[in-house]
Structure 1
Amino acid sequence: MKKLLFGAIVSLGFLMGCNTTEYNYQSFTNFDKGMWYYDSAAIFDFEAPNTHEPFDINYNVRNALAYPYYNLYIQYELMDSAGNVLKSALAQDILMDPTSGKPFGTSAGEMYNHEFNLIPNYKFPYQGSFQLRLKQNMRMDTLTDIYAIGASIKPSENP
Protein backbone atom coordinates (compact mmCIF):
# COMPACT_ATOMS: atom_id res chain seq x y z
CA MET A 1 0.00 0.00 0.00
CA LYS A 2 2.83 2.40 0.84
CA LYS A 3 4.49 1.66 -2.51
CA LEU A 4 1.24 2.37 -4.35
CA LEU A 5 0.74 5.67 -2.49
CA PHE A 6 4.37 6.64 -3.10
CA GLY A 7 4.01 5.81 -6.82
CA ALA A 8 0.84 7.92 -7.07
CA ILE A 9 2.52 10.89 -5.38
CA VAL A 10 5.59 10.65 -7.63
CA SER A 11 3.38 10.37 -10.75
CA LEU A 12 1.30 13.37 -9.69
CA GLY A 13 4.44 15.39 -9.01
CA PHE A 14 5.82 14.47 -12.42
CA LEU A 15 2.61 15.49 -14.16
CA MET A 16 2.50 18.79 -12.29
CA GLY A 17 6.16 19.39 -13.17
CA CYS A 18 5.36 19.05 -16.88
CA ASN A 19 3.30 22.22 -17.03
CA THR A 20 3.19 23.11 -20.71
CA THR A 21 1.98 26.64 -20.01
CA GLU A 22 5.68 27.41 -19.54
CA TYR A 23 6.36 26.40 -23.15
CA ASN A 24 8.18 29.13 -25.04
CA TYR A 25 9.61 28.65 -28.54
CA GLN A 26 11.62 31.43 -30.15
CA SER A 27 13.92 31.37 -33.17
CA PHE A 28 15.32 33.93 -35.62
CA THR A 29 16.50 33.99 -39.22
CA ASN A 30 19.09 36.68 -39.93
CA PHE A 31 19.37 38.37 -43.31
CA ASP A 32 22.80 39.17 -44.68
CA LYS A 33 23.33 42.94 -45.01
CA GLY A 34 19.70 43.54 -44.03
CA MET A 35 18.31 42.36 -47.37
CA TRP A 36 15.22 40.14 -47.46
CA TYR A 37 14.57 38.82 -50.94
CA TYR A 38 11.01 38.38 -52.19
CA ASP A 39 11.53 34.70 -53.01
CA SER A 40 13.23 33.88 -49.70
CA ALA A 41 11.06 32.43 -46.93
CA ALA A 42 12.06 32.37 -43.28
CA ILE A 43 11.23 28.81 -42.15
CA PHE A 44 10.72 27.76 -38.53
CA ASP A 45 10.33 24.09 -37.54
CA PHE A 46 8.96 23.27 -34.10
CA GLU A 47 7.07 20.65 -32.09
CA ALA A 48 3.50 21.27 -30.96
CA PRO A 49 3.49 21.93 -27.21
CA ASN A 50 0.14 20.19 -26.66
CA THR A 51 -3.37 19.98 -28.08
CA HIS A 52 -5.47 21.22 -25.18
CA GLU A 53 -4.16 24.74 -24.49
CA PRO A 54 -4.32 27.78 -26.79
CA PHE A 55 -1.06 29.35 -27.95
CA ASP A 56 -0.20 32.68 -29.55
CA ILE A 57 1.92 32.31 -32.68
CA ASN A 58 3.87 35.53 -33.15
CA TYR A 59 6.46 36.85 -35.51
CA ASN A 60 9.29 39.22 -34.70
CA VAL A 61 10.95 41.84 -36.89
CA ARG A 62 14.35 43.46 -36.38
CA ASN A 63 14.73 46.48 -38.66
CA ALA A 64 17.00 49.49 -38.97
CA LEU A 65 15.73 53.02 -38.56
CA ALA A 66 16.54 53.48 -42.26
CA TYR A 67 13.80 50.99 -43.26
CA PRO A 68 12.09 52.88 -46.11
CA TYR A 69 8.44 52.04 -45.30
CA TYR A 70 6.17 52.45 -42.30
CA ASN A 71 4.54 49.03 -42.69
CA LEU A 72 5.40 45.42 -43.53
CA TYR A 73 3.28 42.85 -45.34
CA ILE A 74 3.96 39.24 -44.37
CA GLN A 75 2.52 36.18 -46.10
CA TYR A 76 2.45 33.25 -43.67
CA GLU A 77 1.68 29.55 -43.81
CA LEU A 78 1.38 27.20 -40.85
CA MET A 79 1.91 23.62 -42.01
CA ASP A 80 1.96 20.19 -40.43
CA SER A 81 4.67 17.56 -41.00
CA ALA A 82 2.80 16.17 -44.04
CA GLY A 83 2.91 19.59 -45.75
CA ASN A 84 -0.79 20.34 -45.22
CA VAL A 85 -1.45 24.07 -44.87
CA LEU A 86 -3.43 24.58 -41.65
CA LYS A 87 -3.54 28.39 -41.78
CA SER A 88 -2.45 30.90 -44.37
CA ALA A 89 -3.00 34.63 -44.68
CA LEU A 90 -1.49 37.99 -45.50
CA ALA A 91 -0.75 40.20 -42.49
CA GLN A 92 0.07 43.89 -42.46
CA ASP A 93 1.79 45.38 -39.45
CA ILE A 94 2.91 48.93 -38.72
CA LEU A 95 6.57 49.52 -37.85
CA MET A 96 6.50 53.33 -37.79
CA ASP A 97 3.92 56.05 -37.39
CA PRO A 98 2.72 56.80 -40.96
CA THR A 99 2.44 60.53 -40.31
CA SER A 100 5.49 61.38 -38.21
CA GLY A 101 7.78 58.48 -39.12
CA LYS A 102 8.41 57.83 -35.42
CA PRO A 103 9.45 54.18 -35.05
CA PHE A 104 7.49 51.78 -32.86
CA GLY A 105 8.98 48.81 -31.02
CA THR A 106 11.93 48.67 -28.69
CA SER A 107 15.21 50.17 -29.79
CA ALA A 108 18.85 49.40 -29.44
CA GLY A 109 20.51 52.33 -31.14
CA GLU A 110 19.49 52.37 -34.80
CA MET A 111 17.84 48.90 -34.61
CA TYR A 112 14.20 48.30 -33.64
CA ASN A 113 12.54 45.11 -32.47
CA HIS A 114 8.84 44.37 -32.91
CA GLU A 115 6.62 41.46 -31.96
CA PHE A 116 3.29 40.95 -33.75
CA ASN A 117 0.58 38.43 -33.00
CA LEU A 118 0.07 36.39 -36.14
CA ILE A 119 -2.30 33.64 -34.97
CA PRO A 120 -3.93 34.24 -31.57
CA ASN A 121 -5.36 31.47 -29.37
CA TYR A 122 -4.34 28.61 -31.66
CA LYS A 123 -4.93 25.04 -30.48
CA PHE A 124 -2.73 22.58 -32.31
CA PRO A 125 -4.86 19.80 -33.84
CA TYR A 126 -2.42 17.04 -32.84
CA GLN A 127 1.04 16.41 -31.40
CA GLY A 128 3.90 16.41 -33.85
CA SER A 129 6.11 18.60 -35.98
CA PHE A 130 4.92 21.84 -37.53
CA GLN A 131 6.44 24.53 -39.71
CA LEU A 132 5.81 28.26 -39.96
CA ARG A 133 6.87 29.94 -43.22
CA LEU A 134 7.13 33.73 -43.45
CA LYS A 135 7.69 35.68 -46.67
CA GLN A 136 7.82 39.40 -47.19
CA ASN A 137 5.07 40.56 -49.51
CA MET A 138 6.04 44.18 -50.15
CA ARG A 139 6.20 43.62 -53.92
CA MET A 140 9.86 44.52 -53.88
CA ASP A 141 12.46 42.09 -55.16
CA THR A 142 14.74 43.08 -52.28
CA LEU A 143 13.47 44.61 -49.06
CA THR A 144 16.25 46.57 -47.35
CA ASP A 145 17.02 47.27 -43.69
CA ILE A 146 15.27 44.14 -42.35
CA TYR A 147 17.97 42.30 -40.42
CA ALA A 148 16.03 39.43 -38.87
CA ILE A 149 12.64 37.75 -38.77
CA GLY A 150 11.69 35.52 -35.91
CA ALA A 151 8.90 33.31 -34.72
CA SER A 152 7.71 32.74 -31.19
CA ILE A 153 5.08 30.49 -29.68
CA LYS A 154 3.83 31.22 -26.19
CA PRO A 155 0.85 30.26 -24.07
CA SER A 156 -2.04 32.52 -25.04
CA GLU A 157 -2.39 35.64 -22.93
CA ASN A 158 -6.16 35.78 -23.57
CA PRO A 159 -7.45 32.21 -23.84
Structure 2
Amino acid sequence: MKQLGLLVFTALLVLGCDMNAGNAVYKEYTDIEDGKWYIKNAPTFTFTIEDASIPYNIYYNLRNSLSYGYYNLYLTRYLRDSSGKEIESRLDELLLMDPKTGKPNGDGLGDLFDHKFLMKRDYRFPKPGKYTIQLKQYMRQDPLLNIQSVGITVEKATPAN
Protein backbone atom coordinates (compact mmCIF):
# COMPACT_ATOMS: atom_id res chain seq x y z
CA MET A 1 0.00 0.00 0.00
CA LYS A 2 2.88 2.36 0.80
CA GLN A 3 4.33 1.74 -2.69
CA LEU A 4 1.00 2.54 -4.32
CA GLY A 5 0.83 5.83 -2.41
CA LEU A 6 4.36 6.72 -3.53
CA LEU A 7 3.45 5.87 -7.12
CA VAL A 8 0.33 8.07 -7.02
CA PHE A 9 2.29 10.92 -5.41
CA THR A 10 5.02 10.68 -8.06
CA ALA A 11 2.45 10.66 -10.88
CA LEU A 12 0.70 13.74 -9.47
CA LEU A 13 4.04 15.51 -9.03
CA VAL A 14 5.04 14.83 -12.63
CA LEU A 15 1.65 15.84 -14.03
CA GLY A 16 1.45 18.94 -11.87
CA CYS A 17 4.91 20.22 -12.78
CA ASP A 18 4.13 20.86 -16.43
CA MET A 19 1.70 23.78 -16.26
CA ASN A 20 1.62 24.33 -20.03
CA ALA A 21 1.08 20.68 -20.96
CA GLY A 22 -2.07 21.69 -22.89
CA ASN A 23 0.02 23.92 -25.16
CA ALA A 24 2.57 21.21 -25.97
CA VAL A 25 2.56 20.03 -29.56
CA TYR A 26 5.55 17.74 -28.97
CA LYS A 27 7.40 16.40 -25.94
CA GLU A 28 9.94 13.60 -26.05
CA TYR A 29 12.87 12.27 -24.02
CA THR A 30 15.73 9.95 -24.94
CA ASP A 31 17.25 7.92 -22.13
CA ILE A 32 21.03 7.99 -21.89
CA GLU A 33 22.23 4.40 -21.42
CA ASP A 34 23.86 3.87 -18.02
CA GLY A 35 23.93 7.67 -17.53
CA LYS A 36 26.97 7.90 -19.85
CA TRP A 37 26.45 10.46 -22.60
CA TYR A 38 29.05 9.96 -25.32
CA ILE A 39 29.81 12.80 -27.71
CA LYS A 40 28.94 10.53 -30.65
CA ASN A 41 25.47 9.92 -29.12
CA ALA A 42 23.42 12.81 -30.57
CA PRO A 43 19.70 12.24 -29.95
CA THR A 44 17.32 13.56 -32.60
CA PHE A 45 13.74 14.65 -32.13
CA THR A 46 11.42 14.97 -35.13
CA PHE A 47 8.09 16.74 -34.84
CA THR A 48 5.44 18.26 -37.10
CA ILE A 49 4.41 21.90 -37.15
CA GLU A 50 0.95 22.24 -38.66
CA ASP A 51 0.46 25.98 -38.13
CA ALA A 52 3.49 28.12 -38.96
CA SER A 53 1.55 31.37 -38.47
CA ILE A 54 1.80 31.21 -34.67
CA PRO A 55 4.87 31.45 -32.40
CA TYR A 56 6.25 28.51 -30.44
CA ASN A 57 8.45 28.15 -27.39
CA ILE A 58 11.01 25.36 -27.53
CA TYR A 59 12.58 23.90 -24.40
CA TYR A 60 15.40 21.56 -23.48
CA ASN A 61 14.36 18.79 -21.09
CA LEU A 62 17.12 17.24 -19.03
CA ARG A 63 17.38 14.77 -16.17
CA ASN A 64 20.59 14.34 -14.21
CA SER A 65 21.62 12.72 -10.97
CA LEU A 66 23.11 14.67 -8.08
CA SER A 67 26.40 12.92 -8.83
CA TYR A 68 26.80 14.98 -12.01
CA GLY A 69 30.26 16.52 -11.75
CA TYR A 70 29.65 20.04 -13.07
CA TYR A 71 27.32 22.96 -12.39
CA ASN A 72 26.64 23.46 -16.10
CA LEU A 73 26.22 21.60 -19.36
CA TYR A 74 27.15 22.79 -22.82
CA LEU A 75 24.94 21.51 -25.64
CA THR A 76 25.05 22.13 -29.35
CA ARG A 77 21.65 22.10 -31.00
CA TYR A 78 20.90 21.71 -34.67
CA LEU A 79 17.50 22.63 -36.16
CA ARG A 80 16.76 21.11 -39.57
CA ASP A 81 13.76 21.24 -41.89
CA SER A 82 12.10 18.24 -43.58
CA SER A 83 14.69 18.20 -46.38
CA GLY A 84 17.52 17.99 -43.83
CA LYS A 85 18.64 21.57 -44.47
CA GLU A 86 20.13 23.13 -41.36
CA ILE A 87 18.14 26.20 -40.33
CA GLU A 88 20.42 26.97 -37.40
CA SER A 89 22.98 25.56 -35.00
CA ARG A 90 23.95 27.03 -31.68
CA LEU A 91 25.97 26.27 -28.55
CA ASP A 92 24.01 26.79 -25.32
CA GLU A 93 25.03 26.63 -21.68
CA LEU A 94 22.51 25.12 -19.25
CA LEU A 95 23.01 25.83 -15.54
CA LEU A 96 22.09 22.68 -13.63
CA MET A 97 23.33 23.99 -10.28
CA ASP A 98 24.05 27.36 -8.72
CA PRO A 99 27.75 28.02 -9.52
CA LYS A 100 28.42 29.57 -6.08
CA THR A 101 26.40 27.40 -3.71
CA GLY A 102 26.22 24.15 -5.67
CA LYS A 103 22.49 23.98 -4.92
CA PRO A 104 20.73 22.02 -7.68
CA ASN A 105 18.31 23.84 -9.97
CA GLY A 106 15.25 22.09 -11.33
CA ASP A 107 12.76 19.79 -9.67
CA GLY A 108 14.26 17.02 -7.58
CA LEU A 109 12.98 13.71 -6.36
CA GLY A 110 15.61 11.76 -4.47
CA ASP A 111 18.88 11.78 -6.40
CA LEU A 112 17.32 12.85 -9.74
CA PHE A 113 16.66 16.38 -10.95
CA ASP A 114 14.50 17.39 -13.91
CA HIS A 115 15.16 20.62 -15.78
CA LYS A 116 13.26 22.56 -18.42
CA PHE A 117 15.33 25.28 -20.08
CA LEU A 118 14.04 27.73 -22.66
CA MET A 119 15.78 27.15 -25.99
CA LYS A 120 13.78 29.56 -28.20
CA ARG A 121 10.99 31.97 -27.25
CA ASP A 122 8.23 32.98 -29.69
CA TYR A 123 9.91 31.16 -32.58
CA ARG A 124 8.08 31.13 -35.89
CA PHE A 125 8.85 28.16 -38.09
CA PRO A 126 9.38 29.09 -41.76
CA LYS A 127 6.54 26.86 -42.99
CA PRO A 128 4.38 23.94 -41.88
CA GLY A 129 6.07 20.55 -41.99
CA LYS A 130 8.45 18.22 -40.20
CA TYR A 131 11.41 19.58 -38.26
CA THR A 132 14.24 17.85 -36.44
CA ILE A 133 16.30 19.03 -33.50
CA GLN A 134 19.52 17.17 -32.76
CA LEU A 135 21.36 17.60 -29.45
CA LYS A 136 25.06 16.95 -28.82
CA GLN A 137 26.81 17.31 -25.49
CA TYR A 138 29.73 19.69 -25.84
CA MET A 139 31.71 19.08 -22.66
CA ARG A 140 35.35 18.01 -22.51
CA GLN A 141 34.47 14.72 -20.82
CA ASP A 142 33.59 11.73 -23.00
CA PRO A 143 31.49 10.07 -21.80
CA LEU A 144 29.74 12.66 -19.69
CA LEU A 145 28.56 10.87 -16.56
CA ASN A 146 25.25 11.05 -14.65
CA ILE A 147 23.04 12.49 -17.38
CA GLN A 148 19.98 10.24 -17.37
CA SER A 149 17.89 11.64 -20.25
CA VAL A 150 17.58 14.57 -22.64
CA GLY A 151 14.70 15.80 -24.72
CA ILE A 152 12.73 18.71 -26.05
CA THR A 153 9.28 20.23 -25.67
CA VAL A 154 7.63 22.36 -28.36
CA GLU A 155 4.70 24.46 -27.09
CA LYS A 156 2.39 27.00 -28.63
CA ALA A 157 3.48 30.34 -27.15
CA THR A 158 0.90 32.05 -24.98
CA PRO A 159 0.55 35.84 -24.84
CA ALA A 160 2.11 37.44 -21.75
CA ASN A 161 -0.46 38.37 -19.12
Consecutive aligned runs of 4 or more in structure 1 exceeding 2 Å deviation: 21-24
Q: Which has the larger radius of gyration?
A: 1
1:147 aligns to 2:148 (yes or no):
yes
Map of 1:6-25 to 2, 5 A cutoff?
A: 22-25=23-26
Aligned residue for 1:14?
none
Kindly report the root-mean-square deviation, in angstroms, between the aligned alpha carbons of the 2 structures. Answer: 1.4
Tell me if the contact between 1:121 and 1:158 (Cα under 8 Å) persists in the aligned partners: no
Deviation larger for 80-89 or 70-79: 80-89
Aligned residue for 1:38?
39
- Counterpart AA for 1:154: E
Unaligned runs of 5+ in 2: 1-21
State the distance in 2 between where 1:102 and 1:109 align: 14
- Tell me the secondary structure at the aligned position of residue 64 of structure 2: strand
Closer/same/farther in 2, CA of residues 39 and 53 from structure 1, 3 Å limit: same
State the distance in 2 between where 1:158 and 1:112 align: 29
State the distance in 1 between where 2:43 and 2:148 align: 12
Closer/same/farther in 2, CA of residues 142 and 102 from structure 1, 3 Å limit: same
Normalization by structure 2: what TM-score?
0.82
Normalization by structure 1: what TM-score?
0.83
Aligned residue for 2:125?
124
State the distance in 2 between where 1:155 and 1:22 align: 5
Unaligned runs of 5+ in 1: 1-20
State the distance in 1 between where 2:79 and 2:131 align: 7
1:64 aligns to 2:32 (yes or no):
no
- Percentage identity across paired residues of the two chains: 37
Q: Report the count of equivalent residues.
A: 139
